[in-house]
């Protein structure tokens, strides 16, 4: 997991989709993670940029949690 530089995180009710790429833009990981294992996963990932669609208050919650782990976060407006 050391080559991950950017992660796109699609949040949902119970299953989240994680799409990770390296600095060259190659896909490193594309997987589903259950809500109760999400923080466990991100504790193992080196600090990187994470993009989340900011369509709901839950995005802000997860953003605060991920920032606390040292990740950089970008909340993406839903119209984009």
What pTM did the predictor assign?
Answer: 0.90
CB-CB contact of 32 with 24 (8 Å):
no
26-38 per-position pLDDT tens digit: 999 999 999 999 9
Averaged over 1-24, what is the pLDDT? Answer: 91
Nearest to 75 by CA among 39, 56, 3: 56
Over the chain, what is the mean pLDDT? 93
37-71 per-position pLDDT tens digit: 999 999 999 999 999 998 888 999 999 999 999 99
Contacts of residue 66, defined as CB under 8 A and 6 or more positions apart, other chains included, come to 42, 50, 73
**How confident is the model at residue 56, as a pLDDT?**
84
């Amino acid at each position: 997991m050391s080559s991950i530089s950017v992660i796109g995180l699609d949040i949902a009710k119970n299953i989240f989709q994680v799409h990770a790429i390296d600095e060259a833009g190659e896909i490193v990981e594309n997987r589903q993670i259950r809500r109760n294992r999400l923080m466990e996963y991100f504790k193992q990932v080196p600090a990187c940029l994470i993009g989340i669609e900011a369509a709901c208050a839950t995005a802000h919650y997860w953003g605060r949690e991920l920032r606390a782990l040292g990740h950089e976060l970008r909340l993406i407006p839903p119209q984009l």
